A and B are shown apart, each in its own frame.
Chain A
Amino acid sequence: MNNSKKNRKTLSKKILCLLAIGLVYSSLGYSYAYGSPESKGVMEQQQTKITVQGKVVDSKGEPLIGVSVTVKGTTNGTLTDIDGNYTINTTSDATLTFSYVGYKAQSIVVGSQKTIDITLLEDAQMMDEVIVVGYGVMKKSDVTGAISSVKSDAIVRQPVANVAQALQGQVPGVIVTSNSGAPGGSVNVRIRGIGTVNNSDPLYVVDGMPVSNIDYLGTSDIQSMEILKDASATAIYGARGANGVVLITTKQGKAGKTAVTLDAYFGVNKVNNNLDLLNGSQWYELQTAINEVRGSAAIDLSKVDRNTSTDWMKEITRTAAIQSYNLGISGGMADEYNYNTGIGYIDQEGTIKKTDYQRFSFRQNLEKTIIKKTLTFGTNINISQSRTNKVLEGSNTVGIVNSAIKLEPVIPVRDADGNYGYSPYIDYNNPVADIDYTNNKSKVTSIVGNVYADLNFLKHFKFRSSFGVDYRKTDDYQFTPVYAVSSYQNNDVSSVTRGYTKFDYYVWENTLNYIRTFAEKHSVNALIGYTREWGRTETLSATKRGTPNDGSDLQYIDAALSSAASANGTAFESALISYLGRINYDFDDRYLLTASIRRDGSSRFSSKYQYGNFPSFAAGWKISNEKFFKNLNANWISSLKIRAGWGRIGNQNIDNYMYQNLLSSNIQYSYLFGTGSKEALYQGLVAVVMGNANVKWETTESTNIGLDGNFLDGRLIFSGEYYYKKTKDMLLAEPIPYYFGFETGPVTNIGSAENKGFEFNVDWRDQIRDFSYNVGFNISTVKNKMLSIGSGTPLAGGSVRNGSATSTRVGSPIGAFYGYKTNGLVQDETQLAEVQKLQPNAQLGDVVFVNTNDDTSLSDADKVIIGNPVPDVVYGINIGFGYKGFDFSMQWGGTLGNDIFNAMRYYTYDLSSVTNKDVAVLNYWRPDNKNTDIPRLAGTDVNDNMRISDRYVEDGSYLRLRNLQIGYTFPASMAKKIYMQKLRVFMTGQNLLTFTNYSGSDPEVGQITSTNYLSRGVDIGTYPQAMTITGGVSITF
């Protein structure tokens, strides 16, 4: 039997070997079940032989596949099969150890048990979780920078079309605000404050490739997202790292059995509308009262019917449907290939009529090993197409929501004859008619992906070359029919506009990695790289007028008969050449050092300033691995690490060619000469923008100090950081005197700003028998301040009807609200006499404006900062429970200390105009009602009560139940009967509850438009967020 014994030993060794490999692969998920009941260990002692079987599940009751089950002290072991079952022959006095990567190992004495079912708990320490960093991966415990990770389950449960939106409240230091509640609307992501008055969007890197935006991705495409926050983490992205970097890994294939998953949900959206406006008769009575002070200018109220009461917000909104389907197939074989492919579809109607968003996407990630352990090829490809129907937003005159808020409620949507109603008093559009006559569609086709080769050689080297393409094509389509609602809302000639934007961008990246451990204690991971990027954007837009009728088959350029046609087109090219290097050094798993450098050359600058260097340094100290620490016997501390870093990074999110003096041939610079038939238009050419050959990158220097701790056996995880970030050389369009006669000044590196704050993240997770739960809390603070605007004057932003809402000034936050300070109302004659010295037209009940500089007049010089749109604190709370098949999760989040400039008050709080009002104004000042902050009724606002002042500024803090999900996973046995491995049903609620004092429709107010950077927090009638309720299933076959 010698031979067979020997064979058995070899077999055991093989199994162990496979086990080790299996473990590695199972860290990514699950692997083949190698174990088989026949594998028997060597029995040294003659004890009662026993065959133990059982099932290993996780805290949710789902079977764990490939869990290693070993007899302690022996080489005897097996793996659980696809249903989590195992069988092992052992002895009664043996101890079985169940271990699985990512879970806490458990040991059980066999005794007389024949069935041992085990529930493995997730190892909350996660300290050896592998996370993605720039150009590589790293053990989380070795990270020295500020990096937050978000896993797919936190993202996929959110019924949102935009992945960035799903990041909201998930990690500290990241402020996510939607600019619009429109489906597929733009989302504003700000990492660690606002670094510049220009574009502060982070850099998005998907599967290692920098991309222009992540609109093409769906939540189900995501495997993980890493947010690189400090310079030591982002400096490897050099000139694009200043606003943080979001690294996205899409779902990758894993060695293992083919799995087919289907996720589907459907539900409804309802608008969040907190507005409380006057109804028809309230409006009528208020206007009757105002008429008394209007004198001869009294409006003729007989033109409207006091019994008409249109709720315009209701008229423009609807209960809208949302549905989403994702089908995925993944699988692979170790050392051979793996793949993960999927198709997805989402269709979301907007809560405002005629808005919707659909996206169809196809994704395939594939990896093929050519030479085992040496050469691997792979691709990540995503092809998607989205279609959007839009209505006009972001206009403070004719925006749909803006119109719906301000239009008088006594105007019917349609009159008795079925014609659209319109205001007889003021030229504000009927928004329902506007929606009806809007035909504004766009279609975006994206092909984003890369192919790469990994080559391992000389044991320690790994070379990767990757070539990527980011191709986007946007088709725009608009048609305006002939219509006439009123003398101010009409269109006499139909027009067709077609346009496209083509963007193609290529990225070629080459990195060489060297990983080696010397003398056991010195680990080195070094990286050098060379990358090239180049791309081109081209736009074309054409308009022609006068189609014979409005038929949908005639809404094409060729159908338009008028000889009037216009066409515009532009083209841009840009390129980037970069050299990068990084070294991570680890001594004895106690001291960590990281240094990186990137040298970027960009076509956006003149040859003199093309190149910039962006270095970083960071160090970490794992205190808990020190001997002295171990001697403390502080067992409740599982691990503790202090880290600190510094780096310099850049922002090149600026326009191309700013260093050149360009001539414009805009039609505006044309002129007519001649008369009669000889009259002709002559196009002029002229420089209207001043160039600046010395323009260079914005640079940001950032310092970060962090502490990571892991307590009570990993049940409590804590991390805290402090950061200080200073942007220098901020690019500002240097304000030039008007007497220069140029329209825009040169862009110069004259600004400076700082951001600083704390971030904390605490997670508690535990399990009591079948009941598992987790509670997480993240909170971050930010203090943003403009340090210098060079010699320039403050930057005005946030255009509203009567001026600018924001001003960026030295010593104040970027885009702070700016205006007059008020001090109540004029209450009596004595006070009036005093007030009239500065406000000669003031009457009793008018607003008192503060003469802040104590001079002799009330002027622009008295304007001060009256609010800050950037929250002092942003926080998120995550709570989850699991019990048997049931799971429950809640995500709360909100802001504290931010203000909103409610520009709609220009209409809803003006006691001289005819527009609709907030019900709060009914409490206006009267001699018998002095205890109020609403001014008197005025025929004309002679005191200019409506000037930009703190009366527009409201507290924008809110707490919102962003996401609530209840799910039930059917027992595997039941699922199996219907040929499923897993069947889960769930209900989700998004934005179910909102607590706020903000009186506008919704407290989530981003920028007026995605590129209007200084309009943050200005509400000119923002498309409100939707409340969404969906139900769905998640099936694995």
Chain B
Amino acid sequence: MKANKILYIFIGLFGLFLMNSCDDALDKSKLGSLTTDNFFSSEDEAFQSLDAAYSDLKDYRYTWTLWAFGDLLSDDATYSGSDADVSSYARMEAYDYPADNGRILNRYQLCYRGISKANQTIDGISKMDAALFSTYDKDALVGEALFLRGYFYHELVKCFGDVPLLAKTATISDKGMSRAPKAEVYAQIETDLSTAAASLPRRSEVDYTEYAGRITQGAAYAMLSRVYLYEEKFDEAKAAALKVIESGDYSLVDDYGYQFTLAGEHCAESILEINHYDSPVQTAATSNNGNFHVLMMMPFGVTYGYGIDQPYQVLADAFDEIGDTERKDATLLTEDDLKAWEAPADFALLERNRTGYYNQKYYLPPSERSIEIRNNPLNIKLIRLGEVYLNYAEACTRGATKDEAEAKKYLKLLRDRVGLPAITSTGDQLVEDILKERRLELAMEGFRFWDVIRFGKASQLFSGFTANRDEILPIPQDEIDRNNGTITQNPR
């Protein structure tokens, strides 16, 4: 009997346990994470989506390409540093672009990542009920994302020519696209930037100490002026630049070099910067919000510097040619400068100084450098008023409706500031002088290579450059491989 009782209890308990089981035990949702199904339900989430859309801008792999292409492929500077660093970029500088070069992939990949995030933000916020917004302006948030999409597409199109165009969040059915003609991409960029400009606030309308780093109407028009120049739509470029100039929100600072110092961040001349800080928590190069390039450009050997970006003597000569000491001093860092600023023990370690110059616009003296070597606080200047003046001057000179006087007026403002005589040339010479002025005013800020190409002078100015071939970089080989022939390579 005892045995039977135990049995019954046993079976009874088992039965209870069995009944307790139910099938929803298999529905486990991710802990500690939202899914796209339940996102975009509040304005805070809208803003969080936008934060992410900005985030690729500060990724050092993207910003690396700003100078690695804009300056190092030009006649201004060379890829220096360790022997391995030098040889890793030798083919690029010889215009024998390898399709598997890491920088080429970085540019392509990071721009599309930025576009994807902007697309998610635009698609997501657009569907939201406007009543959900009280702190933020719904249209302005979308406007910021539109700017980012336009900006990244421009960074792509100027680099690669025709590129795949996706103005919505990608789904798997978007596989198999081909490269959209440049004109289509530009049309999208124009739409995005103009729409953005219409909804964005002006710098003077916001509390800029809090807002600095976010996109304003001024940034959108400034970007438009840049984009129109690439399209050679000079009248439109002129109009867009004028919007910035006439807004009165921006003015040149007296000391040219000031704007490249920590103190000069977001000064009156600044239109858009990528913010960086000495992060207390982030150290990984790909995820931090510090500026890695300060370390990359720091002279080799000096407090861990890589010494990668070294301006050539010819750039120094270009300054000297017109007696431009002020901008030269602010742009080119010499051994004498270093000796003055660095601790003697650090300076003694300097090595591999291949050209005699370093990029001072990315230099921080020891007192301002971060202990975390990849976390330097220096912002990267994306758009400043100086460029807009030059854009305007160029548009006034190269367009169908020429206004050389107006062009010279703004050139004079720039040259007055650095104690140089006004430009007096006209016609083609003036166009040439504007290119020269861009070289010096915007030196080592990532413009030179693209400017020379825009002006059609690359094969004259860059040795080894083959016109109608080397203006654009190859599509990353990996992208070609992934697309089974739908994405074609640029001809060589």
Contact = CB atoms under 8 A, between A and B. Distances in A.
A binds B: yes
Interface of A: 297, 370-371, 374-375, 426-427, 453, 455, 457, 465, 487-488, 490, 492-493, 508, 510, 530, 532, 534, 562-566, 569-577, 601-603, 607, 610, 656-657, 660-679, 681-688, 690-692, 734-743, 745-746, 791-794, 803, 860, 913, 940-941
B51 interface: yes
Contact of B301 (A453, A487, A569, A675): A487
B463 interface: no
Interface string B463-483: 000000000000011110111
29 contacts: A374-B7, A375-B6, A565-B280, A573-B28, A574-B28, A601-B23, A603-B25, A603-B27, A657-B28, A660-B29, A666-B287, A667-B281, A668-B59, A674-B211, A676-B209, A684-B52, A684-B117, A685-B51, A686-B49, A686-B55, A688-B113, A690-B172, A738-B109, A739-B164, A740-B166, A742-B170, A746-B172, A860-B99, A860-B477
Nearest to B476: A738
B28 A674 contact: no
Interface stretch (B80-88, B187-195, B335-343, B425-433): B80-88
B196 to A, nearest CB: 17
A749 to B, nearest CB: 13
Contacts of B214: 673
Contact of A739 (B83, B166, B286): B166
A79 B344 CA distance: 92
B57 interface: yes
Given A679-B277, A681-B289, A738-B108, A940 B32 contact: no
B53 interface: yes
Nearest to B52: A684
A672 B213 contact: yes
Contacts of B164: 737, 739
B282 interface: yes
Given A493-B372, A684-B51, A661 B478 contact: no
Contacts of B51: 669-671, 682-685
B249 to A, nearest CB: 15
> Looking at A488, A664, A674, A794, which has the most chain B CB atoms within 10 Å of its CB?
A674
Given A684-B53, A741-B117, 7 more contacts: A465-B14, A669-B51, A671-B52, A673-B210, A675-B212, A687-B120, A688-B113
B127 interface: no
A684 B55 contact: yes
B112 to A, nearest CB: 4
B55 A668 contact: yes
> Looking at A575, A660, A670, A745, which has the most chain B CB atoms within 10 Å of its CB?
A670
B439 to A, nearest CB: 29
A739 B163 contact: yes
Contact of B31 (A571, A661, A675, A679): A571
B6 A742 contact: no
Given A672-B275, A738-B109, A739-B166, A572 B31 contact: yes
Given A457-B7, A487-B304, A667-B287, A601 B26 contact: yes
Contacts of B37: 660-661
B489 to A, nearest CB: 10
> Looking at A427, A571, A572, which has the most chain B CB atoms within 10 Å of its CB?
A427
Interface in B328-369: 349
B246 interface: no
Given A510-B14, A575-B26, A674-B209, A741 B175 contact: no
Q: Which 9 residue pairs across A and B have the least CB separation, nearest first?
A: A741-B116, A684-B52, A684-B51, A686-B52, A564-B280, A668-B287, A672-B275, A740-B170, A661-B36
B28 A603 contact: yes
Interface residues of B, number: 99
B117 A675 contact: no
Contact of B3 (A374, A669, A684, A686): A374
Contact of B371 (A492, A563, A610, A941): A492
B47 interface: yes
A532 B52 contact: no
Contact of A679 (B33, B82, B275): B275
B115 A671 contact: no
Contacts of B83: 297, 426, 940
A735 B214 CA distance: 34
B310 to A, nearest CB: 15
Interface in B141-167: 163-164, 166
A417 to B, nearest CB: 15
A120 to B, nearest CB: 40
A738 B52 CA distance: 18
A563 B52 contact: no
A488 B84 contact: no
A667 B52 contact: no
B212 A662 contact: no
A569 B209 CA distance: 33
Interface string B282-303: 1000110100000000000101
Contacts of B275: 671-675, 679
B398 interface: no
A440 to B, nearest CB: 17
Contacts, number: 262
B97 to A, nearest CB: 13
B45 to A, nearest CB: 7
Nearest to B372: A493
A510 B17 CA distance: 11
A487 B303 contact: yes
Contacts of A562: 280
B326 to A, nearest CB: 25
B34 interface: yes
Contacts of B287: 666-668
B93 to A, nearest CB: 14
A484 to B, nearest CB: 10
A493 B289 CA distance: 18
Contacts of B453: none
A737 B33 contact: no
Interface in B82-137: 82-84, 87, 90, 99-100, 105, 108-109, 112-117, 119-120
Given A739-B112, A739-B164, A453 B55 contact: no
A487 B211 contact: no
A662 B31 CA distance: 10
A734 B172 contact: yes
Contact of A660 (B26, B35, B53, B55): B35
B289 A675 contact: no
Contacts of B484: 791, 793
B48 A570 contact: no
> Looking at B55, B109, B209, B287, which has the most chain A CB atoms within 10 Å of its CB?
B55
Contacts of A374: 3, 7
Interface in B1-57: 3, 6-7, 10, 14, 17-18, 21, 23, 25-37, 39, 45, 47-55, 57
B25 A577 contact: yes
A746 B37 CA distance: 16
A740 B280 contact: no
B454 interface: no
B238 interface: no
Contacts of A665: 33
A741 B82 contact: no
A690 B211 CA distance: 32
A562 B283 CA distance: 14
B212 A673 contact: yes
A690 B174 CA distance: 13
Given A530-B18, A681-B289, A737-B487, A570 B170 contact: no
A100 to B, nearest CB: 35
Nearest to A567: B281
A660 B96 CA distance: 43
Nearest to A665: B33
B163 A675 contact: no
Given A665-B33, A738-B479, A672 B276 contact: yes
Contacts of B10: 375, 453, 455
A1010 B238 CA distance: 60
